[in-house]
Amino acid sequence: MRSMSVRKSGKATEVVESVEEMRGRVAGLRSSLRTIGLVPTMGALHEGHLSLIRAARRECEVVVVSLFVNRPQFGPAEDYDMYPRTWEEDLGHCNSEQVDLVFSPPEKMIYPAGFSTWVDVERFSTVLEGAFRPDHFRGVSTIVTQLFNVVTPDCAYFGQKDYQQMLLIQTMVKDLHIPIEIRGCPIIRESDGLACSSRNRYLKGRDRQSAVVLYRVLQLAKQRIGDGCRDFGKICYEMKEMIETTPNCETEYVEIVSPETLQPVSPRDESVLAVVAVRVGSTRLIDNQRIHLG
């Protein structure tokens, strides 16, 4: 991949809403052999998203950010209607980070009447998040495939906070021979350890304080494993106990799994992945940490 060319200062981010226009813009970029990086988002941008944009800016000559709240990845009782939509703020971030193009299509263009084609990556779709959120990953893989087909990036950037999603997209790209490199970027945390998330906006008062328990239990797992404990069931029990004794917190799952398969840890694994999903009040949060066995 060629090195990035510096964009002229003062050039505003351009917003593209049409699939046809985006394809035309991409064709023009391809004619000059420019490399394209895509950061898929649902908006409500935070420091985690900005870190992905900066990674794309370092590696690619053109940076595209998608802003699209994808209805099919929300379950019937989930927060699609309440999901934060902060268009002006998001566009300001994109301008500040020198994003070249924002792709923000209307829903009817992505899912027109009669839409009936879905992408389902079976390998990672039914465990952990998939077990608690049926059809969630079908919605994710379908919209990501559409974005890949429209933008045709050289690289796409995903945060490791959604580790299972990242694995699923990597698998999809490999299985379907999609010529895109998937970049997994580190989790960005707030000052007290809480992983940056658009849903952190929902947390108020005591719930915001309680939410730090996700990070605390991951640190507990890291410490126990670092001390030599390999009884992962016992460690998970201790993690769950810490969550359940934190005000207004309810555990959905706590697991320590293989980071390659999301299945039970095997003797071949050199590291493990501690994963948690917790409801803090009415807000559902997830987090993870990869821990080397050393």
Q: Binning pLDDT at 50, 70 and 90, where does residue 10 land?
A: low
Residues 271 and 205 in one domain: yes
Q: For residue 95, is it within any domain?
A: yes
Q: For residue 114, is it within any domain?
A: yes
pTM equals: 0.94
Residues 122 and 261 in one domain: no
**Averaged pLDDT, 9-33:** 90
**Structure tokens, 226:** 């670092």
Q: For residue 214, is it within any domain?
A: yes
pLDDT for 132-145, tens place per residue?
Answer: 999 999 999 999 99
Q: For residue 225, is it within any domain?
A: yes
Expressed as residue numbers, the domain containing 161 is: 14-185
Q: Percentage of residues in the chain with pLDDT exceeding 90? A: 93
Of 14, 2, 25, which is closest to residue 150 (Cα–Cα)?
25
Of 142, 11, 136, 167, which is closest to residue 74 (Cα–Cα)?
136
Residues 168 and 255 in one domain: no
Residues in the chain: 294
Q: For residue 193, is it within any domain?
A: no
Distance of CA 195 to the CA centre of its chain: 12
Question: Where is the domain boundary, 152, 185, 218?
Answer: 185
User: Residue 9, CB half-sphere, CA atoms under 13 Å: how many?
Assistant: 0
List 49, 93, 136, 292, catalytic entry: 49
What CATH number is attached to the domain comprising 70? 3.40.50.620
Q: Which residues contact 266 (CB under 8 A, 6 or more apart)?
A: 258
pLDDT for 52-109, tens place per residue?
Answer: 999 999 999 999 999 999 999 999 989 999 999 999 999 999 999 999 999 999 999 9
The per-residue pLDDT for 9 is: 47
Residues 57 and 164 in one domain: yes
Q: For residue 126, is it within any domain?
A: yes
Q: For residue 5, is it within any domain?
A: no
pLDDT for 206-259, tens place per residue?
Answer: 999 999 999 999 999 999 999 999 999 999 999 999 999 999 999 999 999 999
Q: Which residues contact 258 (CB under 8 A, 6 or more apart)?
A: 264, 265, 266, 269, 272, 273
Residues 50 and 162 in one domain: yes
Residues 87 and 35 in one domain: yes
Q: For residue 25, is it within any domain?
A: yes
**Averaged pLDDT, 265-279:** 96
DSSP track, 174-221: HHTT---EEEEEPPPB-TTSPBP-GGGGG--THHHHHTTHHHHHHHHH
Question: Where is the domain boundary, 139, 155, 185?
Answer: 185
Residues 138 and 280 in one domain: no
Residues 137 and 235 in one domain: no
49 has catalytic annotation: yes
